[in-house]
């Protein structure tokens, strides 16, 4: 059995190993992803984001329990930050998810961000595909604890939960651009603390300004109070998440969301590949090395250098087109002589 077949058969160790290899950009793993890709697209991807310490991991664990009770199989991808100094990471989400232990229909994987800055890790797209292929109905993707601008999750998930807690800030905070705009559900977690109702009121006031989802779909994010201590609101959140997915499907937004996700994924991979290939070229090409020297010595600015590279590519494409045209003309000419 090759890796793809093992995964199709549901071999947990192979699945786990494949995610590791994907994180390392192992060529074997990329080969497997190519095989997996056409079989994806069945899972509902749910993003859970919010500042550190608002209770995302506990909420993910509780939500997973609710989805399991509804007989959905669940995958969880929990991203925590890598150290910018050592490269190491403390992946602590597991410590909040022990209630899911022993359930064969739950697969949890912690991922270190490994230098990615948008709240996710570079491997998370592929990891989500692996769990999708593995037959998980729902994949919960928990971002690192974020600030205001880490919105990569909106390009990946079908439904995004923004988790806040009492005292997160006032209406002005809630009106800011960035993370507040990507929420399909607004959660005020730790509702057992004082100030939860005020937080909900602030959020709904801002929503009343109609500014939050300008240029997006007509979905109005429900604001839900929750507490993982006593289970308040968890069932409501699970219900609202599923309702949002229904809305996405009914409105014909699913194809667009998937397309946007894949376009972004393609552009990310493509730009990275171009960069890698270019850097390989630099190592062997003295001419390009001289460019770097010139840029470094302020003789050539990086904008002009980029334009020159793109110009070179354009010329190469034109040349190719010309030679193809020539070939075709010759072929037509030849066939005309033959059939005459």
CA–CA dist 182, 160 (Å, integer): 7
Task: Specify whether the CB–CB gap between 201 and 171 falls below 8 A.
Answer: no
- Residue 23, interface with other proteins (CB under 8 A)? yes
Contact characters 284-323, other proteins, x per CB under 8 A: ----------------------------------------
Closest CA to 17 of 3, 35, 37, 36: 3
Size of the site for other proteins (CB under 8 A): 30
Residues 59-88 that bind other proteins (CB under 8 A): 82-83, 85-88
- Residue 189, interface with other proteins (CB under 8 A)? no
Query: Cβ closer to other proteins: 102 or 287?
Result: 102
- Residue 96, interface with other proteins (CB under 8 A)? yes
- Residue 95, interface with other proteins (CB under 8 A)? yes
CB of 83 to other proteins, least distance (A): 6
What count of Cα atoms within 13 Å lies in the side-chain half-sphere of residue 107? 22
Task: Specify whether the CB–CB gap between 141 and 74 falls below 8 A.
Answer: no
CA–CA dist 166, 308 (Å, integer): 53
- Residue 94, interface with other proteins (CB under 8 A)? yes
Query: Cβ closer to other proteins: 91 or 253?
Result: 91
Closest CA to 191 of 152, 133, 158, 231: 231
CB of 14 to other proteins, least distance (A): 10
- Residue 252, interface with other proteins (CB under 8 A)? no
Put the strands of the sheet holding 138-142 in their side by side order.
Answer: 106-112, 74-80, 138-142, 44-49, 159-164, 185-188, 223-225
CB of 11 to other proteins, least distance (A): 10
- Residue 218, interface with other proteins (CB under 8 A)? no
Stretch that binds other proteins, among 18-26, 66-74, 290-298, 326-334 (CB under 8 A): 18-26
* H/E segment holding residue 246: helix 234-250
* Residues contacting 283, CB < 8 A, separation 6+: none
Tokens of 215: 């240029």
Q: Which residues bind other proteins (CB under 8 A)?
A: 12-13, 16-17, 19-20, 23-24, 82-83, 85-92, 94-96, 98, 101-102, 107-110, 112, 114
């Amino acid at each position: 059995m090759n890796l793809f077949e093992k995964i199709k058969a549901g071999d947990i160790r192979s699945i786990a190993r494949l995610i590791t290899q994907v994180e390392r950009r192992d060529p074997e793993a990329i080969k497997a992803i190519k095989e997996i890709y056409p079989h994806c697209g069945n899972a509902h991807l749910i993003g859970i984001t919010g500042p550190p310490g608002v209770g995302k991991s506990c909420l993910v664990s509780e939500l997973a329990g609710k989805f399991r009770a509804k007989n959905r199989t669940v995958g969880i991808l929990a991203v925590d930050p890598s150290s910018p100094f050592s490269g190491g990471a403390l992946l602590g989400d597991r410590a909040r998810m022990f209630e899911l232990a022993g359930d064969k229909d739950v697969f949890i994987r912690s991922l270190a961000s490994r230098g990615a800055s948008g709240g996710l890790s570079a491997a998370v797209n592929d990891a989500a595909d692996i769990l999708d292929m593995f037959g998980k109905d729902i994949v919960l993707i928990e971002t690192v604890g974020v600030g205001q601008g880490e919105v990569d999750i909106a390009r990946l998930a079908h439904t995004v939960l923004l988790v806040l807690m009492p005292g997160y800030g006032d209406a002005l905070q809630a009106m800011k651009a960035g993370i507040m705009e990507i929420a399909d559900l607004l959660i005020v977690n730790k509702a057992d603390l004082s100030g939860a109702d005020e937080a909900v009121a602030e959020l709904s006031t801002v929503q009343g300004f109609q500014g939050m989802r300008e240029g997006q779909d007509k979905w109005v994010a429900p604001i839900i109070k929750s507490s993982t201590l006593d289970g308040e609101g968890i069932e409501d959140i699970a219900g609202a998440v599923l309702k949002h997915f229904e809305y996405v499907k009914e409105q014909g937004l699913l194809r667009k969301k998937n397309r946007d996700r894949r376009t972004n994924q393609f552009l990310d991979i493509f730009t990275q590949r171009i960069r890698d290939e270019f850097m390989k070229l630099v190592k062997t090409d003295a001419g390009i090395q001289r460019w770097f020297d010139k840029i470094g010595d302020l003789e050539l600015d990086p904008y002009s250098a980029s334009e020159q590279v793109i110009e070179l590519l354009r010329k190469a494409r034109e040349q190719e087109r010309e030679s193809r045209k020539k070939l075709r003309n010759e072929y037509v000419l030849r066939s005309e002589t033959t059939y005459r």
